[in-house]
Amino acid sequence: MRNLDKQSKNSKDEQLEAYRVDDKDGNMTTNQGLKVSDDEHSLKAGDRGPTLMEDFHFREKMTHFDHERIPERAVHAMGYGAHGYFQVYEPMKEFTMAGFLQDPSVKTPVFVRFSTVAGSKGSADTVRDVRGFAVKFYTEEGNYDLVGNNIPVFFIQDAIKFPDLVHAVKPEPHNEMPQASSAHDTFWDFIANNQESAHMMMWAMSDRAIPRSYRMMEGFGVHTFRFVNEEGKARFVKFHWKPKLGVHSLVWDEAQKLAGKDPDFHRRDLYESIENGDYPEYELGVQMIEEEDEFKYDFDLLDATKLWPEEIVPVKIIGKMTLDRNQDNVFAESEQVAFHPGHVVPGIDFTNDPLLQGRLFSYTDTQITRLGGPNFHEIPINRPVCPFHNNQRDGMHRMTINRGQTAYHQNSLAQNAPRPATREQGGYVHYQEKVDGRKIRQRSESFKDHFSQAKLFWNSMTEVEKHHMISAFRFELGKVKSKSVQQQVVHMISCIDSTLAGEVAEGIGASVPNEQTESGVTLESPALSQEKTVKVPDTRKVAVLAEDGYNSASLNAFISKMKETGMMPEVISHTLSPLKSEGGEELEVDHTFLTSDSILFDSFYVAGGQKSKELLLGKKDAAAFLKEGFSHFKPIGAAYEAAEVLEAAGIANGPGVIVAEQSQDPAVFSDAFISAAAEHRHWDREV
Ligand code: HDE
């Protein structure tokens, strides 16, 4: 049940309240308000006769249904949103005049939409892909949209190439396959022939592209923006979201299986954690560079294929976002929300990043087709919480009734209203950057190093992460049919790292380039490795395997300790009938081996009790369940008597396997299990 008391009420929530309708109050009516007497039968000439044109109720109902769908987003079609709020930790006056970044007591309402990029609406959540991380802040100065991704760089440097990138990654046009996957010829052909994508390619082949949860991934604004303070002083800024639960991923085998067993895995995870009151939290961080230091670095600040290593430009944590309310209606909110990087507030400005400049055109343009006209800002989820006035009028689906005689500027009949505001009155004044140049179609020389940061990323990975990347390349390129494309990609990889190129080449039967072309970069950025992330047990799911005759003393102690720690134990058994303990106590079963699967859990515990153990040993599915969890490097625990169940599954003692000792203090065992669960995965395990 939704924990309404804990949810914050805010200005956006109050505004949405005016549009919410509870259809269970009152009779069924037509859209004109006429009460309907029968919704089961169309109006016919006789009970076996033809339906009559006169049946306005049937026609209205059917017409509405016929037009229920709107075009899905060209990219980021599959997504899911949540409401919440943002609070700054301390006034940011020195750096920006943005009103929502000044007062720590102010809670700015937000709506966030997470997404995958390539798949259609309804495609599986756990595919290998970049994740969208779009945040709409409903500030008192207007809506501010931070439309980011979970990867800090991008495939291309100039927006003019975006349609090409998207055509290449989407299903191939002649057969509309594969869905939600980059493992096909056109994507890799694009990569090999557009080498600016080298850095992003490395991120996309890393574990970042298969997050465990939307709650456990970082977000990045990607582009360099500007902060501008009251004095008009500007600084370059990059935005980061850092999840309080740390950054964690699935393993590829698990991700693929989840796509079938639970295509809604990330949506469900977000929805359920908010319903449970486990509100996802992300800290907002900024990296700032002084304007005078623009050319101090060996990367161009305007190049979106480059990051600013955190060790060189530290991330200053400035606030926190909490997601505390699920949507009421996914179409009305997630589907109709319209983000745009050009939705800014005073104090936040753009740079000449050519990717950002192109995005500033694309987002409003796409909404006009997707949301059916230029009035999408009036849709409840998109409306600012502050008043908005201008001389824009009419158009499809206009809802505002603008009163008065004038709709132009300047005018005398309405004393020139609505009047533009001065900077002092809060009017947005663009940063007056001096620009001087010839009109040319060219890329700056400073954008031409495509491999140094790709190598930096590779250098920063642990051995396990490197191994995952090699497998990801082998998988993706192994699905490519063109030998030439495969070979071209191996050549491209060899410009980054020859060991990686050799490993990939071997896996796909390509040849390793002879000449040594790899990037000479030896630097690392430890912050890029997920292995160094925050590790906490909170909200981790524990599958508790038990049968009749379980030992209630040890199991009850274990379950209550897990709950106390904020973990989520769920009981799995062969049927849904309540279990009876050795002493006759009853225990509700949450899932059966049929309705659930090891891939839906973070960790496992086998309950004690002789009879329970024998029943678990008697059927193969408990062993299969545990074996799979073990092969995905997940923590596994067992009560003393249940050790045999692990043995039957071929699980030997080792990293992340914790079997209780005879007469061990349950608290000692639980603590060991909790630490193992917090580790997320035990990579040093032989599987
Ligand atoms: Fe987007 N992008 N994008 N993008 N993007 C869209 O806008 C576009 C880029 C991102 O949950 C579209 O409303 C261009 C980078 C997110 O509703 C479209 C370029 C980043 C979302 C569009 C980029 C993003 C979108 C499709 C290159 C990370 C989903 C539907 C110049 C910083 C927002 C829509 C949501 C959505 C255009 C590149 C993030 C077509 C032209 C880089 C999170 O307008």
76 is catalytic: yes
Does the global pTM surpass 0.95?
A: yes
Distance CA(496)–CA(494), nearest Å, equals 5
Q: Is pLDDT of 3 > 50?
A: no
Mutate which of 335, 339, 360 for ligand 1? The one with the most ligand atoms within 8 Å of its CB, which is: 339
363 CA to centre of ligand 1 in angstroms: 7
Q: Is pLDDT of 186 > 50?
A: yes
Mutate which of 112, 136, 169, 363 for ligand 1? The one with the most ligand atoms within 8 Å of its CB, which is: 363
pLDDT at 2: 41
- Tell me what the mean pLDDT of segment 109-138 comes to: 98
Condensed to tens digits (0 to 9), the pLDDT of residues 567-585 reads 999 999 999 999 999 999 9
pLDDT at 88: 98
Q: Is pLDDT of 1 > 60?
A: no
Give the CATH fold of the 451-531 domain. Hemocyanin, N-terminal domain (1.20.1370)
Distance CA(73)–CA(164), nearest Å, equals 16
pLDDT at 619: 83
276 CA to centre of ligand 1 in angstroms: 31
Per the annotation, binding residues for heme are 73, 113, 162, 359, 363, 370
Q: Say if residues 204 and 130 touch (Cβ distance below 8 Å).
A: yes
pLDDT at 6: 47
592-598-602-605 Cα dihedral, nearest 10 degrees = 60
Condensed to tens digits (0 to 9), the pLDDT of residues 455-507 reads 999 999 999 999 999 999 999 999 999 999 999 999 999 999 999 999 999 99
Nearest to 224 by CA among 87, 76, 354: 354
Contacts for 411 with CB less than 8 Å, ≥ 6 apart: 417
Q: Is 151 in the pocket of ligand 1 (CB under 6 A)?
A: no
Contacts for 81 with CB less than 8 Å, ≥ 6 apart: 111, 112, 113, 114, 327, 330, 333, 334, 337
Query: Looking at the chain, which residues constitute the CATH 3.40.50.880 domain(s)?
Result: 535-678
pLDDT at 515: 72
Q: Is pLDDT of 652 > 60?
A: yes
Looking at every residue in the chain, the average pLDDT score rounds to 96
E-assigned strand segments in 17-107 = 79-88
Query: Looking at the chain, which residues constitute the CATH 1.20.1370.20 domain(s)?
Result: 451-531
What does the block give as tokens for 508?
């796909």
Q: Say if residues 148 and 341 touch (Cβ distance below 8 Å).
A: no
Point out the ligand 1 atom lying closest to the alpha carbon of residue 221: 32
Distance CA(224)–CA(362), nearest Å, equals 18
Q: Is pLDDT of 5 > 70?
A: no
Q: Which of 48-52, 374-378, 549-553, 661-665 has the lowest mean pLDDT?
A: 661-665
75 CA to centre of ligand 1 in angstroms: 7
3-state helix, strand, coil in the chain (%, to 5): 35, 15, 50
Q: Is pLDDT of 305 > 80?
A: yes
For 509, half-sphere exposure in the C-beta direction (CA atoms, 13 angstrom radius) is: 7
Q: Say if residues 264 and 125 touch (Cβ distance below 8 Å).
A: yes
Condensed to tens digits (0 to 9), the pLDDT of residues 157-175 reads 999 999 999 999 999 999 9
Point out the ligand 1 atom lying closest to the alpha carbon of residue 361: 41
Mutate which of 73, 153, 225 for ligand 1? The one with the most ligand atoms within 8 Å of its CB, which is: 73
Distance CA(407)–CA(404), nearest Å, equals 8
Point out the ligand 1 atom lying closest to the alpha carbon of residue 76: 29
Local confidence band at 439 (pLDDT 50, 70, 90 cut-offs): very high
Q: Say if residues 148 and 239 touch (Cβ distance below 8 Å).
A: yes
Where do the H-state alpha helices sit in 184-317?
Answer: 185-193, 198-204, 252-261, 265-275
Instruction: Find the helix or strand (DSSP H, E) in which 556 lies.
Output: helix 552-565
Which is the CATH superfamily of the domain at 79-382? Catalase core domain (2.40.180.10)
Sign of CA dihedral 313, 314, 320, 325: positive
Distances (CA, A) of 442 to 69, 171, 283, 438, 680: 41, 30, 38, 11, 46
Query: Looking at the chain, which residues constitute the CATH 2.40.180.10 domain(s)?
Result: 79-382
Q: How many helices (H) and strands (E) does the chain have?
A: 17, 18
Contacts for 583 with CB less than 8 Å, ≥ 6 apart: 552
- Tell me what the mean pLDDT of segment 209-217 comes to: 98
pLDDT at 516: 66
Angle between helices 498-508 and 483-494 (to 10 degrees): 160
Q: Which CATH architecture has domain 535-678?
A: 3-Layer(aba) Sandwich (3.40)
pLDDT at 452: 98
pLDDT at 8: 61
